[in-house]
């Protein structure tokens, strides 16, 4: 695939400036040169940002799975498309070729059609990280059904809310899931959820853990016999460019999840383009993203982006700490991984362990290492760069969102000089701007503001399923005519961007606007600190004061609590200033996190304020038990 090639920063700026001057011509060329279409577009883009109405590649006809699989068969049929690395390292890995992937997707697509699933129907998928998850996603896309993957760790009530919102007809799940040393009974969660889901007519069950499950007669069927009965040849549905591809739910600030709708052609073009360029992928590379397909990172950078580029992509069922803390590094060594993409929260947790876990494995095949999900703090960045990348594999600190569909701001390996804590520069075709409090665009560098995008891009979500009014109000009303990311950002003297966190995480203390991210970075540099989260709480004198929730690398450090609190505040004072010192510091065993590793500051904010009501459904958290523990230890 030929997207663009630049060898240095000067060429990047020349190329970027041209993409901004002529964005339609830029995207027209990328879409034209790199994909198989049934019919080309009449117009590249139509949009009304005021109304949050955007359409790409008008009247084009395409099927994304033809581009992910079929077109690779002639030259790459026997190449490995997916490496499945099981939870248990003693279980043999699977290597699924493009030919085999075609057969599996075709059979499942035929089974879906036989079940009565047709173009536009919604199918919810609640599966662990096994090959059937990727196959299910692709089979839905092949017949034009809209897939909605629900992370297989959500509670029954969270599943039911998502199934009902999209009115799914079919749900695909498994008997159970392996997660480290645990076996989780997924089917029983689904049985509970579906008590309140009237639209679901059928449930397909994958046999993974061989757990005894209850099968509801007339509704539930084992998946494998259905698939085995089908022919390994399936005609791909012809899809309009703007036909829905998938719905993916992301947490809303109100607690009600938002079903972000992504459409076919624009998402295809953007996920393929960003994958190729951010990861410097070459033909015989082995790429591994550790995310779950239940999140947008897994959609764009485990399934669609890699397969659109004919890549070999790793699907990992396990966790970084099982059976030992070297599991990530063992997998890289075993499969000779060349690109590795993971979350800062995973990096921080592994950085707490002895270096021996990393150093015992050969990581010399790595070319590019990346981080995703939240800004990476400086200490974690250096540990990752030094011990995993060995200072030769550039760190691509990527900024993007579920709503954007793909990476927006990131270093380009071997082109963009990296800078710790900075996502650096926008990709060609992406036009970020910083806005001030008066809704004016800030043009100079060495400044800060609200991060917006002023021209549409192909991968952007088109709406919130069933609620365009909410979509418009959330993303396009704060700064009319622009997409508001909800994030604040700094721009340095050369134009590099650093994400400072959600704008609602800016706390006004004694009239000073304090972003929480830089304070957390300073705290995390303390040698005893593993991770921190800062929130504001009402203060009689300052208006707001700062409350810090801090986890330590060693529990024994708690014994010198007073000294440690003093050291942390001195550290903040020297790095940021005395105004940013914390009024309250609570040492905790963990922070409440979503399954993708994001800290739920909304819950911490309520605890800091002493408001223990309406936390929402905490069972959707990675560690729901920690909420009660933090609540009990709250400092008055």
Q: Please give the residue that has the higher pLDDT: either 595 or 138.
A: 138
96-118: burial string, b at 16+ Cβ within 10 Å, e else: bbbbbbbbbbbbbbbbbbebebe
Lowest-confidence region among 92-96, 491-495, 509-513, 520-524: 509-513
pLDDT value at position 586?
95
Give the pLDDT band of residue 474 (cuts 50, 70, 90): very high
Give the pLDDT band of residue 4 (cuts 50, 70, 90): low
Confidence check: pLDDT of 593 > 80: yes
Q: What mean pLDDT value characterizes the chain?
A: 93
pLDDT value at position 558?
57
Q: Please give the residue that has the higher pLDDT: either 185 or 540.
A: 185
Task: Give the Cα separation of 105 and 124 in Å (integer).
Answer: 17
Give the pLDDT band of residue 614 (cuts 50, 70, 90): confident
Q: What is the mean pLDDT of residues 340-366?
A: 92
pLDDT value at position 352?
86
pTM: 0.86
pLDDT value at position 250?
84
Three-class HEC string of 401-451: CHHHCCCCECCCCCCCCCCCCCCECECCCCCEEEECCCCCEECCCCEEEEE
Confidence check: pLDDT of 358 > 70: yes
Task: Give the Cα separation of 532 and 552 in Å (integer).
Answer: 9
Confidence check: pLDDT of 555 > 80: no
Confidence check: pLDDT of 210 > 50: yes
Q: What is the mean pLDDT of residues 491-510?
A: 83
Confidence check: pLDDT of 259 > 60: yes
Give the pLDDT band of residue 253 (cuts 50, 70, 90): very low
pLDDT value at position 7?
81
Domains for the chain: give ranges and CATH numbers.
9-319+398-489 (3.40.50.12780), 510-632 (3.30.300.30)
pLDDT value at position 12?
93
Lowest-confidence region among 22-26, 61-65, 169-173, 505-509: 505-509
pLDDT value at position 487?
92
Q: How do strand 529-539 and strand 497-502 relate by DSSP bridges?
A: unpaired
Give the pLDDT band of residue 607 (cuts 50, 70, 90): very high
* Locus of tokens 């000779």: 336
Closest alpha carbon to 261 in 273, 270, 249: 249
Three-class HEC string of 527-580: CCEEEEEEEEEEECCCEEEEEEEEEECCHHHHHHHHHHHHHHHHHHHHHCCHHH
pLDDT more than 70, % of the chain? 96
Give the pLDDT band of residue 544 (cuts 50, 70, 90): confident
Q: What is the mean pLDDT of residues 241-246?
A: 98
């Amino acid at each position: 695939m030929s997207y663009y090639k630049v060898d240095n920063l000067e060429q990047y700026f020349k190329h970027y400036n041209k993409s901004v001057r002529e964005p339609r011509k830029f995207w027209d060329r990328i879409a034209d040169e790199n994909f198989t279409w049934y019919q080309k577009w009449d117009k590249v883009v139509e949009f009304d940002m005021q109304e949050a109405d955007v359409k790409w590649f008008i009247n084009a006809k395409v099927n994304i799975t033809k581009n992910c699989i079929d077109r690779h068969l002639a030259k790459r049929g026997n190449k490995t498309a997916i490496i499945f690395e099981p939870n248990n390292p003693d279980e043999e890995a699977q290597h699924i070729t493009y030919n085999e992937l075609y057969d599996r997707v075709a059979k499942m697509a035929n089974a879906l059609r036989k079940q009565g699933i047709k173009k536009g129907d919604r199918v919810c998928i609640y599966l662990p990280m096994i090959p059937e998850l990727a196959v299910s996603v692709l089979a839905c896309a092949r017949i034009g059904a809209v897939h909605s993957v629900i992370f297989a760790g959500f509670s029954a009530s969270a599943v039911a809310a998502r199934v009902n919102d999209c009115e799914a007809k079919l749900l695909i799940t498994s008997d159970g899931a392996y997660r480290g040393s645990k076996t989780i009974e997924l089917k029983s969660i689904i049985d509970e959820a579906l008590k309140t889901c009237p639209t679901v007519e059928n449930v397909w069950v994958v046999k993974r853990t061989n757990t005894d499950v209850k099968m509801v007669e007339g509704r539930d069927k084992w998946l494998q016999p259905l698939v085995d009965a089908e022919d390994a040849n399936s005609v791909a549905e012809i899809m309009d460019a703007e036909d829905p591809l998938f719905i993916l739910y992301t947490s809303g600030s109100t607690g009600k999840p938002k079903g972000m709708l992504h459409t076919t052609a624009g998402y295809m073009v953007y996920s393929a383009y960003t994958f190729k360029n951010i990861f410097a992928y070459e033909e015989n590379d082995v790429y591994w993203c550790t995310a779950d397909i239940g999140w947008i990172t897994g959609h764009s950078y485990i399934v669609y982006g890699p397969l659109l580029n004919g890549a070999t992509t790793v699907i990992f069922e396990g966790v970084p700490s099982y059976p030992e803390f070297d599991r990530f590094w063992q997998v890289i060594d075993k499969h000779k991984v060349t690109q590795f993409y993971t979350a800062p929260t995973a990096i921080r947790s592994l950085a707490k362990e002895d270096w021996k876990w990393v150093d015992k494995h050969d990581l010399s095949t790595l070319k590019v290492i990346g981080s995703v999900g939240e800004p990476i703090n400086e200490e974690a960045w250096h540990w990752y760069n030094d011990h995993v990348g060995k200072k030769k594999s550039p760190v691509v600190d990527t900024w993007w969102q579920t709503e954007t569909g793909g990476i927006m701001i990131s270093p380009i390996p071997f082109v963009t000089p990296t800078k710790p804590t900075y996502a650096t520069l926008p990709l060609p075709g992406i036009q970020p701007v910083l806005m001030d409090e008066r809704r004016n665009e800030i043009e100079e560098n060495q400044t800060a503001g609200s991060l917006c995008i002023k021209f549409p891009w192909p991968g952007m979500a088109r709406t919130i399923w069933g609620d365009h009014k909410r979509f418009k109000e959330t993303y396009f009303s704060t700064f009319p005519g622009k997409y508001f990311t909800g994030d604040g950002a700094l721009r340095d003297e050369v134009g590099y961007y650093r994400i400072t966190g959600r704008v609602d995480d800016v706390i006004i203390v004694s009239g000073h606007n304090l972003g929480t991210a830089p304070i957390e970075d300073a705290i995390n540099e303390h040698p005893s600190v593993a991770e921190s989260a800062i929130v504001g709480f009402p203060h009689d004198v300052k208006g707001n004061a700062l409350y810090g929730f801090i986890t330590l690398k060693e529990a024994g450090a708690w014994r010198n609590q007073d000294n440690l609190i003093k050291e942390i505040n001195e550290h903040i004072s020297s790095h940021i200033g005395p105004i940013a010192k914390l009024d309250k510091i609570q040492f905790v065993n963990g922070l409440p996190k979503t399954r993708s590793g994001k800290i739920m500051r909304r819950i911490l904010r309520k605890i800091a304020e002493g408001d223990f009501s309406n936390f929402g459904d905490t069972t959707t958290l990675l560690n729901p038990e920690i909420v009660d523990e933090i609540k009990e230890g709250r400092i008055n």
